[in-house]
Chain A
Amino acid sequence: MRQNENGIVDVYQRTIRPLYGYVSRRVGGNAALAEDLVQETWMRALDAWPSRGMPDEPLAWLIRVAHNTLVSHFRRVRPESIDAAHLDLEAPAFTPDSPDAAALVSWGLSRMRRGQAQWLEAFYFDGKSVREIAQERSMSERGVEGRLRRARIKLKKVLDRAMRPLGDAGGARLAGRKAGT
């Protein structure tokens, strides 16, 4: 029992920084929100690990759960402090590194299919270049650019549709729905 506890604390110490960084980048450095989400991720780990055993790759497990926690959060909470029209997703210099911009992008990504959202996550939040993504996925850079372009168009569509009528009844109604439903 003591060994298990020590093992968990050891995993905690090894993973807390990369896990926090993963979450923090997706909420634009909003420390209060990042801390809440990281804590919730760890509480889920403590729910699961004692009965099911610690995973072989704890950090990968934690990041997967953190991703689900982020998606759940952004499906519940709608950012209202920024207008999507002010985001130029196509601009080369655009990075969602402010809390407002990151919240809006994450909110939009949580309403897209995972397969499409992951391209933008890698590019915007993990700071990977097109070349790095292409190498990781054994694809051509052109192929990656195409997928990023299509994902950006989808994200823009999701944000435009939900955010344009900001504050009116239509916006509120859309806020609670998944894209494409």
Chain B
Amino acid sequence: MSTSHEPRPEFIQRLQERVTIEAHRRQQPLVPRYRWMPQSPLAAMATLAAVVAVSMVAGGAVVAARYQAETQQQRDMLAATYQRRIELEQKKLDVAKAQWQEVQRRVQTGQSPQLDSIEAESQVRAAELQVHVAQLQLEEVRLTGKEPNDAVSAPVIAGRDFVRERWNVQVETIASSLDVAKATLAAAQKRFNVGLIDKAGLAMAESGVRAIELALGGARQRLDIRQQFVSNQIDAATADLRLLETDATLRRQTAQNQLDVAQTRLADATSRFEKGLVSRVDVSQAELRVIELQYEIKKADLELAVIRQQIAQRKGK
């Protein structure tokens, strides 16, 4: 066979980015985090509330004790580690830039669609932001001699709010990926209009845009909570609870977004099954996905109820 069956490097890179993001996003709601949770809703809420309180206290202690660099030597070693991370991120940026140039060349000669160029440019932007994050981490390590702290209730260091600075970069990174998702949706819409993809394919692209918009909203809310903590409008415990609330809300919205797509896929699979185009197993898989997501939504609702009860109790104090 003369045809090459090697994947394009830019495809490997692009899919790896997507796999990393999706793995992070999907693990949040799908990992059964409360296997031991009692069946009674009241008992479950009480247990979860206790865990929230205990983990807040324990979490604070762990963060404080972790990787303390008590000596100058340890501090230097820690700084050297973060210096190497900057160099690594810089190398990734160089690769992303080279790939973008290559993609631009292919687009100009008609070998690749314009979408590839938008994606490659977005990867350059994301790589630049990662270099910036690594630089901020090194600056914090040099000032504190400790691992960078990204907790919402982390203290401001020498007048600098490193948490806000890094979370701002996170917002920019997500905003950058939104442009790609919108361009992907526009391309999917065109393919749908000429019959190249089905309704489920289009729904998936729409869901991709919604997912990033939700993530962007969540990231901005986190920044808002941080700001309230830094300006002493809320205490550390309330800030932690508000952050848990934001994360649980995001998980619920993301699951709802995925549920919309899963229901479209189920309708599609059912229709195809009736025409003899797919097997009963395909329909069952689609049904299972819908049930999984409905379960995730219920679980997020329970978490939200418990967290909001805790917030209300703190307000009452």
Contacts and interface: CB of A to CB of B under 8 A. Distances in A.
Interface of A: 1, 4-5, 8-9, 12-13, 16-17, 20-21, 24-25, 28-29, 31, 34-35, 38-39, 42-43, 46-47, 50-51, 72, 75-76, 95, 97-98, 127, 176-178, 181
Q: Closest 4 interchain pairs by CB?
A: A29-B3, A24-B5, A20-B7, A50-B30
Contacts of B2: 97
B32 interface: yes
A4 B12 CA distance: 20
Contact of B26 (A24, A29, A46, A72): A46
A95 B1 contact: yes
Contacts of B31: 1, 50-51
Place the interface of chain B in its size category. Answer: 20 to 34
B111 to A, nearest CB: 10
A19 to B, nearest CB: 9
B15 interface: yes
Contacts of A181: 276
Given A50-B31, A178-B276, A9 B1 contact: no
A178 to B, nearest CB: 6
A86 B264 CA distance: 39
A16 B276 contact: no
B26 A97 contact: no
B274 to A, nearest CB: 12
Contacts of A24: 3, 5, 7
Q: Which of B5, B7, B18 has the most CB of A within 10 A?
A: B5
Interface of B: 1-8, 11-12, 15-16, 18-20, 22-24, 26-27, 30-32, 198, 275-278, 282, 289, 292
A47 B3 contact: no
B182 to A, nearest CB: 18
Given A16-B12, A51-B31, A29 B5 contact: yes
Given A9-B16, A47-B289, A51-B292, A4 B27 contact: yes
B282 A72 contact: yes
A40 to B, nearest CB: 9
Contacts of A47: 26, 289
Contact of A51 (B4, B12, B32, B277): B32
A42 B21 CA distance: 12
A35 B5 CA distance: 11
A39 B18 contact: yes
